[in-house]
Amino acid sequence: MEKIFLDNRLNFPATERNRDFIAAVLSNHISPSSVFLEIASGSGEHGVFFQKKFPSIIWQTSDPVLAHRSSINSWIKHEGLTSKMPLPIDLDVEKRPWPITKQLKSLIKGIVCINMIHISPWSCTKALFEESKSYLNKKQFLMLYGPFFRKDKQTSSSNLNFDKSLKSQNPLWGLRHLENINKIAFENGFILEKIIEMPANNLSVIYRIN
């Protein structure tokens, strides 16, 4: 159940269930003194959690929704991270080029996008890959997390129901086929490094610039 706070902090309950598992995956892919850019940070709960978990890095959040950026700011303040974490960036993957400064671009070592691509039109997935490659050097990664369809695996009934409910809210939303995402990734110079099965029928997928 969603918690209500008196400041602008939002509570996305799933973040508390999946953050430890996502952090475990991230821990294999991050290096100290690096900046990691999170696309579609939502409430900011993942952001502050990862920043506290990995104090040697800088976690740069972003989201196009003002209420989400206000929530992220409030979480940063609430967790006492104002001197460590930058303010969230107003970043819509389809508004290109992304508002990333040259200095930030030179520091980014990886991009993480959790639970966005099924809750946005397919054009957002394309934009995510097309634009991410401009901010990543060889061997740097783009990590996706969420539910997917896979050609060779049966889809769980919970994911089929989730897909239906997303499409009923917006016909342009819905779970994506991992094979179609891979195609976009390859077209943009990424290789598929790893697919990690996660709890609740989710996947973490690591792509790397070849």
Ligand X SMILES: C[S@@+](CC[C@H](N)C(=O)[O-])C[C@H]1O[C@@H](n2cnc3c(N)ncnc32)[C@H](O)[C@@H]1O
The binding site for ligand X (CB under 6 A) comprises 12, 15, 39-43, 46, 63-65, 68, 92-94, 114-116, 119-120, 124
How many whole angstroms separate alpha carbon 205 and alpha carbon 181?
Answer: 10
For the chain, the distance separating the N- and C-terminal CA atoms, rounded to the nearest angstrom, is 42
Residue with Cβ nearer ligand X (46 or 208)? 46
Helix (H) or strand (E) holding 194: strand 190-198
Separation of alpha carbons 48 and 46, rounded Å: 6
Least separation, in Å, of the C-beta of 168 and ligand X? 16
CB of 16 or CB of 210, closer to ligand X: 16
Nearer CB in complex with ligand X: 32/97: 97
Conformation bin of residue 103: beta by default, left when phi > 0, alpha when psi is -120 to 50: alpha
| Planar angle of CA 197, 56, 116, nearest 5 degrees | 40
Q: 74 — phi, psi (to 5°)?
A: -65, -40
- Minimal CB distance residue for ligand X: 42
Nearer to ligand X, 172 or 191 (CB): 172
Return the SS3 of 78.
Answer: helix
* Least distance CB 203 / ligand X (angstroms): 14
With respect to ligand X, which residue has the nearer C-beta, 119 or 192? 119
For the bound state, the minimum distance from the C-beta of residue 17 to ligand X, rounded and expressed in Å, comes to 10
Q: How far is the CB of 173 from ligand X (least distance, A)?
A: 10
Contacts of 158 (CB under 8 A, 6+ apart): 200, 201
Minimum distance from residue 138 beta carbon to ligand X (Å): 25
CB contact at 8 A, 167 and 174: yes
Tally of CA atoms within 13 A in the half-sphere of 37 that contains its CB:
29
Nearer to ligand X, 67 or 191 (CB): 67
Q: How far is the CB of 49 from ligand X (least distance, A)?
A: 11
Residue type, 71: S
